[in-house]
Structure formats: structure tokens, C-alpha cells
Structure 1
Amino acid sequence: MDLFEKIEILGQAAQYDICGSYLCQGKAGHRQKSPLGRWIYPAVMPDGREIRLLKVLMSNVCENDCLYCCNSCTQDFRRVSFQPEELARLFFQLWHSRRVQGLFLSSAVAGNTETVMTRMLETVEIIRWRYRFRGYIHLKILPGASFSIIEQAVRLADRVSLNLEAPNPQRLQKIAPQKQFDHDLLSRMKWIRKLADQGWRTRGGQTTQFVVGAAGESDKEILTTASSLYRDLGLRRAYFSAFQPVPGTPLENHPPTSLIREHRLYQTDFLFRQYGFSVDELIFDSQGNLPLKADPKLTWALNHPEWFPIDVNTASKEQLLRVPGIGPKSARRILKLRRQHRFRDLKDLSAVGAIASRSAQFVLLNGKRPQMSKQLQFGL
């Protein structure tokens, strides 16, 4: 089998691993195929740059029987693997021809985890040292990897990740019975944090991913775990992947998870990371899920009338961030510009990037409730 066939098979097999922010920003074309059929993903880097990543598996040979996974050992399809030399050479060709600017490397688990991770590390070492690539590399840590393997990974990669898949041991057992939540996954994330505390901190930090809806978990379970990871392990990002059934797997008849639910989880994640919200402040329904009809910040505001209205000309940054339609950038601009002049109407809010039509019922401008013009009312 030639390299082009392998990259087509193993690139497609990697599609369910989320590696960048496009999947949660609603931008079209978050995944694209090159003319040669190889999978290249645009992604937003930790510093805000957008680059093109080659996203690929080292191997799709797997001995795990995760009930939702397209690469499960029960699936009947062609199994292939890269050798470190050939994958490194292929990446160099793509990078040298300016088709890609970075690498996301993961793998199914065939045999011993250490053996698979060693091959992945050998690939990255060749790319780094022989081909002198100094750009972005995101390396997946496989469940059960040893401390020494993880130590090598954080020295070579710009970002590492380990997918928890579920929010707790009970939920993980329902979809990946061969994996141990605390021993195989969470303990390894703690090792990554330990290495960071010792000075071996990757510039992109560590991330994780949850499969949403496959195990019957609630949003509150997922967000409680994500919140603790941000607080205790310095997690850089949590990613959420709405479960979609794969034909031939034990969960092929399980209902797919709504993409709106995935979107609400991402919105809430932003509230954690950029708005100062805690999981205890969120509004959940009786099943522990986020309401789907409105975004979580608006839902919170409507359930806390005692906070409002907030005077835009005197409010603190923390207060401004609680107002629907005002985000971190517009809050900073308000604080800067109100030193020069007062905000008197909704057009002033729109001018700093706020969504004035959302903010109107929650603010005072020049001491008064604002009047919404027809243009703002209809988003013109």
C-alpha cells in the first residue's frame, strides 16, 4: 500500500478527534480534503493564529471495544499503520510544499500502549530533529501511558491531550468498559500537570474531549468535571463531541445527540474560561441539562433579575460580563472609552462590539433605560 492510500484511510479515521476551535465557532469548512484526498484541518492555535493541520492516526488497529467508536476492534474494515519513517517523511513533504503548517497525531491502541506511543514519539523526533520542524505539534496521550512516555511527549509537543470521553467512572464503563477512568486517564492528566509544575509546560497546555450523549450523562455531570479540571489540573480547553451513531457498533441504534446541545456546552465552557462563571451558578433543567432554547448566559440573566439593570457607565468589568450581549472585548472597550465620554444610547454599545439588542433590557445608559431603535430591533 502506498503512502497516499494510508493517509486517506488514517486521515479519515482521525476525524472524530477534535483538535481546534473551528468546531465550536460555527465556521463552515472546519474540515476539508486536499485534492489528493488527505485530511487537512484549519485550527486556531493557542496564540490565536489560524493554521492548517495534518490530522492523522499512527494506526487504526485497535484492541479496545469502545461501544461508540468507528475504530473499535469489532468493526470490519481495512486496518493499516504507518511506520515512523514514512509518516515523518510524508509530513515533511506536505510541510515543505506548504500544504500544512502543523501536525495532530493520535492512534488507536494496538497491543502495548508503550509500543504505540514510542512509535508516535519516534515520528515526532524525526520531524523535529531530522527535518528541523519547529512548528506546531499536538500529540495525543494514549490511556495508560507511562510517566516516562508522557515526559517525552511534553518535551516534544506544543500541546498534549488525553480524552476522558465521559465525566466519571460510571459513565465511562457504559461506553468504554476496557478503560479505567482514574487509573488509565485521570492519573495521566495529573502527571501532565505535575510536569508542568516542574517546568515542562507545553505552550498549548493540555486538553481533553468528552463524547456527549453516548453514556446517558447529564450536562451538569460533564460541566462539573470540566470545571474541576480547569481548577485543579490547569486544563487549557475542554472539547465536546456530540455522539453520532456509527453503523456496525453496539450503539448504532442509539439516538444521535443534538448539535444544539453540543453548542450550549461550548457556550458554557466560554463562561467558565472568559466570564468568571462557576458551575454552581448555571441553570439546569430537572434532568441536569442546559436549556436548549436560550444560551446559558441569557438563561442565567433572566433567572437573576436582582442583578439588573446594570449601569454601563459605572459597572465593574465583572458586572459588565454578566450582561447578555457584552463579551470580554466589548467590556474592555467600555471600560476604556467611558473615561473619555459617557455611554448614552444603544448605538454607543454597538460601536464597541456589543450586541445591543440583547443588552437593552439589562442595562442603564446615562441613568435611563435605553430605547431600542427599529434598526437595532431588527439587527440592521
Structure 2
Amino acid sequence: MYVKRSEDVFTKLSQMGDVTLYEPAGDTPHSEATSSASIKRQRSGFDLADCISHVQTPRGSKPILKTMVTTACERNCNYCPFRAGHSSTRRTTMTPDEIAYATDTMQRSKQIDGLFLSSGIIKGGVSSQDKIIDAAEILRKKYHYRGYVHLKIMPGAEYDQLYRAMQLADRVSINLEGPTAERLEALAPKKGFMQELLVQLQRAHHIKQNDPRIRSSIVTQFVVGAVGDTDLELLSLSDRLYNQLGLARTYYSGFSPIAGTPFENVSPTAKIRQNRLYQSSFLLRDYQWDVEDLPFLFDGNLRTDVDPKQAWADLHLKHQPIDLMNADRSELLRVPGIGLKAADTILSARKERKLIDLGQLAHLGIRNPQQMAPYVLLDGHRPAQQLSLF
């Protein structure tokens, strides 16, 4: 099929660069967004590099192309720069052939090593999903591309479309945006929480369970802080998604007001709140915490002055410290400064010797053992507050 001259394709691609600020794609979204914003501050106008983000993927750290089929949209999400009627947004559309061609060209020139593809919604979610799938199929079949692909699933996409996207992609995004139907209604009046979005996550889980050939991971994203959502709401749903639907991760995108949208005068969400949500989410997903373990305040939000693990330890461990010589793995993982690797290191080391001072932990490669000092015992005794020299 005919593709326009390459300079026309890449001009259009560069005009979509600011999508990188609104769609986290990797496993370190904070650094990803910071990197994209930094690049933009250093330049004026459009540049192809605006479409490239360095992200941590399940296949490792990669520079990937992040783009959209179209920045036009018929939906009216109150926070979104691509919403219908937002006159300040440049409307650009690419064909599936153009996207596949651009991805292959940039891959061959070693500018990128992966693709994240989203889209505005035009003529419904089914039609828009078709174009995303077509681009991925052309890339896989015509260009024999075997690299990393992350595809967005449109609200209202059909089951067969979701199935095909999961066959083609390494990861799919099905973004809930709000933690409840009421919060979503305030954010995106034309989107259906249960019938358009949550059902897609349920279908994706069903597909993975019933087809062992499917390797695609599943993620979602929330817009945080624009409509009164609480950390308790966000993390309660995240916990259910991890445990019941096998999600790989949840993204928490702090709200940032866009001029010309209904929410242009709503205050932005502090980055520290976003960070605390991620820290808590990892405790739920990787450390087997329960939502009830998280130290919420009376308003349903987390403290921002300390991380959630330390906040819990201050309440529970300062006066009842755990002994590193006899605590089980789950107990060790409750201690600030002890992560997954450090817990295993401690369990292995104590089989061979008594752990009697923090200096031993430092020699085992555990970073900043002083952080755990207020919360632990070493062979029945409180550790000295300074590291041993030998």
C-alpha cells in the first residue's frame, strides 16, 4: 500500500509529540514524564525526539516511539487536551501504514526499540480500535517486526478486537481513569465505567487465563486528584485488580490542568501524592500487603510527609521491633529499608552467623541499614544507631 513521502510522515509524527506527557507507558512513569518534560523545555516547536521516551519495559529499558493514530476525538473528557471542541489542540491523523512505516524506519535507524500506540476516538471505539490493530498487524506482518509493542484498548472495543490486540502486543492498556463510576462520570461524561472499561479488564483476564499463547500483560491508568478521588478508593480498586484480574501494574497520573478545558482552573495534583500512591501500590502488588495495612488518614488519603511503609512502621514497630534473627520473610518486608532482595539476603545470612550489628548488614550489600535501626532487634538487642566500622 502507498505511503506518503517519508518527510510528510515524520512531520505529522513530530506534531503528536506532546502525547508523551499524558500516556505513561513503562514501569518507571515518573522518570518517563520528567524526561519528556525536560526535552520539551529545551526546544521550541515540534521535534521528532518529542515522540521518543526512554521507558522500562518487561523486555528491559528501551527508547520507544509513543504516538497516536489521531489526536482528534469525539469524546469530551473534562481534563483531556484532545477532547472534542478543544480549539488549541492541533488535530493530526496518521494511517496505519504510516505508523508502521515510521516505526520500522526509526527502528532500523536505532532511534527506537519499541512502540506505544494510542488514539483519540473517532466514529466510535470499534472503528478507532481497528486502526490501532491494523497498524500493529502491518508492523508485524509486512515489516516482520518482533520488537516491543504496547497498544491502547479503546472504550467500547469488541471482544475479538481485544483478543487480536493481545495476540499482537506485549502489553495492553485499558484505562479506567476513575476508581468508581461516579468519579469517572465527573472526569469523562461519555465513558461507561462498567460497560466500556471494567468489562475490558475482565475480558483481558479471561483471555489470558484461557489461551496460554497470550503473553501480553495488562495495565490500567487513573487520573488522580481532579474530582475528589481518595487514595483509599484508588488503592482499594488497584488491590482488586491485582488479585482478581492479574494486572501487571496500575498507573497514577497526577492531574495537570489544561487551558481551554472545563478543568483548567482545578489545582494540579502534587507529585508527592502520585509517588505515595505508587509506593503503596507496590506494597500491595509485590509485598502482599492488604489495603487495611496501609496507614490512611481520616480523609481516606495517605500521609505525604513519609512513605507508607515508614508510616506503618512508626505506628507498629517502634515500640515492638522485630528481631532480624527470627522474623519470617513477610515480617522482614514490613521494615523500612528492607526490600525483596534484602529480605532474602538476611534470611540466607542468618543461617550461617548471628546478625549482631548494622555493619554486618552493610557488608552484605544492604543499602542504608541505618534506616531500619528504630524498627528492629539484632539477636534480641536494639542496634547501635551508628554503623560499626569493622
TM-score, normalization by structure 1: 0.94
Cα gap change, 1:283 to 1:185, in 2 (>3 Å) = same
Q: Residues 1-380 of structure 1: matches in 2 within 5 Å? A: 2-24=8-30, 29=35, 32=39, 36-47=48-59, 49-76=60-87, 77-199=89-211, 202-305=214-317, 308-351=320-363, 352-373=365-386
Deviation per residue, 1:280-326 (Å, 9 max, x gap)? 11111111000111100111111224883111122111110011111
Deviation per residue, 1:242-293 (Å, 9 max, x gap)? 0010011000000110100000000001101121111011111111000111
- Of residues 279-288 and 4-13 in structure 1, the stretch that sits farther from structure 2 once superposed is 4-13
One-letter identity of the residue aligned with 1:147: Y
Please state whether the residue corresponding to 1:334 is helix, strand or coil: helix
8 Å CA contact retained: 2:78, 2:262 = yes
Give aligned-pair identity as a percent. 38
8 Å CA contact retained: 1:7, 1:38 = no
8 Å CA contact retained: 1:8, 1:38 = yes
- Of residues 194-203 and 163-172 in structure 1, the stretch that sits farther from structure 2 once superposed is 194-203
8 Å CA contact retained: 1:141, 1:160 = yes
8 Å CA contact retained: 1:43, 1:53 = yes
Distance 1:198 1:310 in 2: 43
Distance 2:320 2:30 in 1: 30
8 Å CA contact retained: 1:22, 1:42 = no
Report the alpha carbon displacement of residue 23 of structure 1 after superposing the two structures with TM.
2.2
Report the alpha carbon displacement of residue 36 of structure 1 after superposing the two structures with TM.
4.0
Match of 2:4 in 1: none
Distance 1:349 1:28 in 2: 34
Report the alpha carbon displacement of residue 342 of structure 1 after superposing the two structures with TM.
1.9
Report the alpha carbon displacement of residue 30 of structure 1 after superposing the two structures with TM.
5.7
Cα gap change, 1:38 to 1:242, in 2 (>3 Å) = closer
Please state whether the residue corresponding to 2:312 is helix, strand or coil: helix
Cα gap change, 1:375 to 1:367, in 2 (>3 Å) = closer
Report the alpha carbon displacement of residue 64 of structure 1 after superposing the two structures with TM.
0.5
One-letter identity of the residue aligned with 1:13: V
Unaligned runs of 5+ residues in structure 2 are 1-6, 41-45
8 Å CA contact retained: 1:137, 1:157 = yes
Please state whether the residue corresponding to 1:211 is helix, strand or coil: strand
